[in-house]
Amino acid sequence: MNSKSEKRLPSSVEVHMPICFECYKDGIQTELKYQKSTSTLMSVNEFYDEGGVLHHHDPNVHSVYYKCDKGHELILLEKPVCGVCGWPDD
């Protein structure tokens, strides 16, 4: 059994702008261009913990839109993580 569920890009392209997965399947690397980003409109919870450290808990999901030269679209979902406690993943 040799099943790979994980999609990985070659390490040579990981550091660049995201490339188009559709084009990548056809063997070409097309750079995705940033279009816009939107986010849900929930209020951000900021508070100080017992140690006086500020936590920034943002429950919003940010959708970042990209498009390649061939017209393929990609939406990346980003969930902010608290830099202090790792919320919401903990």
Binding region for Zn ion (CB under 5 A): 20, 22-23, 30, 55, 68, 70, 72, 82, 84-85, 87
Identify which of residues 2 and 89 has a Cβ nearer to Zn ion in the complex: 89
Identify which of residues 3 and 86 has a Cβ nearer to Zn ion in the complex: 86
DSSP 25: H
CA dihedral 38, 59, 7, 31 (to 10 degrees): 30
Minimum separation from the CB atom of position 48 to Zn ion (A): 10
Minimum separation from the CB atom of position 63 to Zn ion (A): 19
Tokens of 50: 């017992």
Of 14, 26, 9, the residue nearest 68 (C-alpha): 26
Identify which of residues 2 and 10 has a Cβ nearer to Zn ion in the complex: 10
